[in-house]
Amino acid sequence: MIEFKEVYFKYPFEDTYALKNINIRISKGECVFIMGSNGAGKTTLIKHINGILKPTKGEVWVNGKNTKNFTVAELSKIVGIVFQNPDHQIFASSVYEEVAFALRNFKFDEKYIENKVNETLKFFSLEKYKEASPLFLSGGEKKRVTIASVVCYEPEILVLDEPTVGLDLKQRKNLVNLINELKKMNKTIIVVTHDIDFAIELANRVIIMNEGEVLKEGSISDIIYDEETLRKANLIQPIIPQVVTKLKLSISSKKIITIEDFLTNLEIILKNVKT
Amino acid sequence: MLRPENFIYRPKDTVIHRLDPRSKFYYAFLMLVLAILTIDFNLLLLLLLFTLFPILLGKILKQVLKAIQSSLFFLALIFIINFIFSLNVILALALVIRFLILIISFLAFSLTTSIDDIALSFYKLRFPYDFVLALTLAYRFIPTLFKDAVNIVDAQRSRGLETQKGNLIKRVKNFMPVIIPLLVVAIRRALNVAEAMESRCFGASKRPTNYYELKIKFGDILLFVASTILFIIVLAEILGLVKIAIV
Ligand SMILES: Nc1ncnc2c1ncn2[C@@H]1O[C@H](COP(=O)(O)OP(=O)(O)OP(=O)(O)O)[C@@H](O)[C@H]1O
Ligand SMILES: [Mg+2]
């Protein structure tokens, strides 16, 4: 379980707080999406989960551990974070070595590492690059390498910062499948994204951030029908809620999220259109 | 630790920030020359006093103090080494003050002058455009590079990289996962900038025009005259023509 208790955070030499009064609880097995405009503080927030950043005021607790009292290495074994920019971590001479890096640091034995890396590479369709230099892969391939390099050590909590950027449709579906698998294994998953359709597919809960504060917290349907919050967070309202809102139904429309929902409820919808 | 934030210009609207970079440079340069020419404790103290004006007027005291704080180690080292070799407290202190003058007058210039103004001065002094541009770009990318470094260290530590423990060989080895991405990112960025510049006709003209112009104002003349007078007086004292006593 992750808990933020009245967390304030200020970067050194900055005058304003990058995080203000953050109170969040994330239970084991939840899949939580964090969204919000550029500079809202999403990356700053997730860097608190494995103790890279420590709160200026307040506390962050991860599985009953106050992050203040543990090193990043200790917390990282529980919390795997995949960062926004693959270029900020790729360094090894081969894709294999890159993926094995964390496993080596956490001192798994070589046999286990070999199996695990091969399995992970296969899952991300990266086997053919096993011996290739990761530096010269395409953007989406690099992204996959970085996700693979964290997923492979099976952290209990997985944090992904903008994981869908640069992925094509097939790889995106692959990622959705992976996250669904992990959800089944009761892993906690936190995703930072601007991609609301991705959230619709996976989120148990959505946290919207704005200017370092939590603007709104709720289910995906709470969010996609809240035009004001979406506007503040610079998110586009998906097409189905847009249509449903325009129709001005006389019944509650919150259950209608996807095209499938729309079609199965078409009869009810048409009956309840206000004229 | 040396933090680049302490050495980097931030826009502010003060008398000192508005001065022409050339007159500020002239001032900093004279202070530097004087500090090196003399080893007299009284004189150095006087010079130190003078370096305070631009710091206070330019409202950069906080940054300067932070910078001094991060060089405390060097200052202590200078003091200790000189004291051991000369057994003379005054001399050791004088050398510390000399170092302080060098830092402070350099900061008075660099913290209040934007790189664009510095580059423009070079350009006006007939330096080639390529040189001026390279200077600007190099300077501009220091903070970016620093941010990259922070992010890279964060990413690798999140994957269990240990940067604090181990013997020297191990530490150097553990440094590779940080150094390599940093170099790659820097080179990539340089190539991107080059492409972006070329696609905007860089190189089409040997001496392109400028948007801003430099103008000598009253304050510049004042600073120029004041620092020249100070220079002459102190020089006179050094040469034994006059006598100044403070302490
Ligand atoms: N290392 C740093 N030093 C100082 N300020 C920083 C640093 N990193 C981020 N900030 C500032 O903190 C604020 C929040 O940044 P953050 O990176 O958390 O935003 P974000 O929500 O992840 O944005 P994006 O969607 O662009 O990734 C921004 O105003 C940013 O300028
Ligand atoms: Mg971010």
Question: Is A81 in a helix, a strand, or coil?
Answer: strand
Q: Which residues lie closer than 8 Å to A142 by C-beta, 6 or more apart?
A: A86, A87, A90, A134
Closest Cβ opposite residue A90 in set B151, B158, B181:
B181
Closest Cβ opposite residue B156 in set A77, A87, A89:
A89
- Whether residue B52 is found in the same domain as residue B84: yes
- Asked if residue A35 lies in contact with residue A194, where contact means CB atoms within 8 angstroms, the answer is yes
- Whether residue B139 is found in the same domain as residue B106: no
Compute the C-alpha angle A33/A34/A38, nearest 5°. 140
Residue B24 CA to ligand 2 center (angstroms) comes to 39
- List residues bridging with B234 in a β-sheet: none
User: In the predicted model, what is the mean pLDDT of residues A109-122?
Assistant: 95
Q: 3-state SS of chain B?
A: CCCHHHHCCCCCCCHHHHCCHHHHHHHHHHHHHHHHHCCCHHHHHHHHHHHHHHHHHCCCHHHHHHHHHHCHHHHHHHHHHHHHHHCCHHHHHHHHHHHHHHHHHHHHHHCCCCHHHHHHHHHHCCCCHHHHHHHHHHHHHHHHHHHHHHHHHHHHHHCCCCCCCCCHHHHHHHHHHHHHHHHHHHHHHHHHHHHHHHCCCCCCCCCCCCCCCCCCCHHHHHHHHHHHHHHHHHHHHHCCCCCCCCC
In a domain, B85, yes or no: yes
pTM: 0.78
Residue of A nearest to B184 (CA): A87
Which of A40-49, A161-170, A211-220, A259-268 comes out lowest in average pLDDT?
A259-268
- Whether residue B41 is found in the same domain as residue B77: yes
- Whether residue B100 is found in the same domain as residue B158: no
In a domain, B210, yes or no: no
What pLDDT, on a 0 to 100 scale, did the predictor assign at position A80?
95
Question: Is the pLDDT score of A275 beyond 70?
Answer: no
- Whether residue B17 is found in the same domain as residue B78: yes
Q: Which residues lie closer than 8 Å to A218 by C-beta, 6 or more apart?
A: A205, A206, A226
- Whether residue B104 is found in the same domain as residue B220: yes
Is A40 near ligand 1, meaning CB less than 6 Å away? yes
Q: Which residues of B touch A92 (CB under 8 A)?
A: 177
Condensed to tens digits (0 to 9), the pLDDT of residues A154-199 reads: 999 999 999 999 899 998 999 999 999 999 999 999 999 999 999 9
Nearest in space to A174 (alpha carbons), one of A143, A135, A204: A143
Q: Give the other-Cβ count within 10 Å of B68's Cβ.
A: 16
Look at strands A57-62 and A2-9 and give their pairing: antiparallel
Question: Is A93 in a helix, a strand, or coil?
Answer: coil
Cβ contact, residue pair A150, B159, below 8 Å: yes
Rounded Cα gap, residues B9 and B56, in angstroms: 15
- Whether residue B36 is found in the same domain as residue B98: yes
* B158 inside 8 A of chain A by CB: yes
Tens digit of each residue's pLDDT, chain B (247 residues)? 445 666 678 888 888 888 998 899 999 999 999 999 888 888 899 889 888 988 999 888 888 898 888 888 889 999 999 999 988 899 999 999 999 999 999 888 988 988 888 888 888 888 888 888 888 888 778 888 888 999 999 999 999 987 766 677 777 778 889 999 999 999 888 888 888 888 887 777 777 777 777 788 888 999 899 889 988 988 888 888 777 665 4
Retrieve residue A236's tokens. Answer: 């586009």
Chain A interface, best mutation among B5, B6, B156, B159, by max A CB count within 10 A: B159
In a domain, B20, yes or no: yes
Rounded Cα gap, residues B190 and A249, in angstroms: 55
Rounded Cα gap, residues A170 and A177, in angstroms: 11
Question: Is the pLDDT score of A13 beyond 80?
Answer: no
Chain B interface, best mutation among A47, A84, A88, A146, by max B CB count within 10 A: A88
Rounded Cα gap, residues A132 and A186, in angstroms: 34
Q: pLDDT confidence of A217, banded at 50, 70, 90?
A: very high
What pLDDT, on a 0 to 100 scale, did the predictor assign at position A268?
86
Question: Is the pLDDT score of A253 beyond 80?
Answer: no
* B230 inside 8 A of chain A by CB: no
Retrieve residue B116's tokens. Answer: 């664009």
In a domain, B95, yes or no: yes
In a domain, B243, yes or no: no
- Asked if residue A55 lies in contact with residue A18, where contact means CB atoms within 8 angstroms, the answer is no
Retrieve residue B235's tokens. Answer: 């020089």
* B191 inside 8 A of chain A by CB: no
- Mean per-residue pLDDT of chain A: 93
Cβ contact, residue pair A73, B160, below 8 Å: yes
The whole-angstrom distance between B60's CA and the closest CA on chain A is: 13
What pLDDT, on a 0 to 100 scale, did the predictor assign at position B244?
66
- Whether residue B11 is found in the same domain as residue B92: yes
Integer angstrom CA distances of residue A214 from A4, A232, A233:
12, 12, 11
Domain that residue B84 falls in: 4-113+216-238
- Whether residue B14 is found in the same domain as residue B96: yes
Is B36 near ligand 1, meaning CB less than 6 Å away? no
Which of A57-61, A193-197, A271-275, B53-57 comes out lowest in average pLDDT?
A271-275
What pLDDT, on a 0 to 100 scale, did the predictor assign at position B1?
42
In a domain, B108, yes or no: yes
Integer angstrom CA distances of residue A273 from A111, A131, A270:
63, 59, 6
Closest Cβ opposite residue B188 in set A77, A87, A149:
A87
Nearest in space to B156 (alpha carbons), one of B173, B182, B178, B176: B178
Q: Name the one residue in this structure whose structure tokens are 């370092």.
A: A212
What pLDDT, on a 0 to 100 scale, did the predictor assign at position A175?
93
Q: Name the one residue in this structure whose structure tokens are 């084991």.
A: A28
Is A14 near ligand 1, meaning CB less than 6 Å away? yes
Nearest in space to A258 (alpha carbons), one of A208, A198, A206, A207: A198
Q: Which residues lie closer than 8 Å to B210 by C-beta, 6 or more apart?
A: B120, B123
Q: Which residues lie closer than 8 Å to A20 by C-beta, 6 or more apart?
A: A8, A211, A212, A213
The backbone region for A111, taken as left when phi is positive above 0, alpha when psi lies in -120 to 50, beta otherwise, is alpha
Q: 3-state SS of B138-184?
A: HHHHHHHHHHHHHHHHHHHHHCCCCCCCCCHHHHHHHHHHHHHHHHH
Integer angstrom CA distances of residue B45 from A37, A167, B32:
52, 63, 14
Is B147 near ligand 1, meaning CB less than 6 Å away? yes
- Asked if residue A137 lies in contact with residue A129, where contact means CB atoms within 8 angstroms, the answer is yes
In a domain, B11, yes or no: yes
- Whether residue B103 is found in the same domain as residue B170: no
Nearest in space to A198 (alpha carbons), one of A228, A156, A151, A160: A160
In a domain, B165, yes or no: yes
Look at strands A57-62 and A31-36 and give their pairing: unpaired
- Whether residue B42 is found in the same domain as residue B139: no
Nearest ligand to residue A34 Cα:
1
List the residue whose alpha carbon is closest to atom 14 of ligand 1: A41
* A80 inside 8 A of chain B by CB: yes
Q: Which residues of B touch A135 (CB under 8 A)?
A: 184
Q: How many domains does chain B have?
A: 2
The preferred substitution site among A22, A35, A38, A43 for testing ligand 1, maximizing ligand atoms within 8 Å of CB, is A43
Retrieve residue B218's tokens. Answer: 């009253």
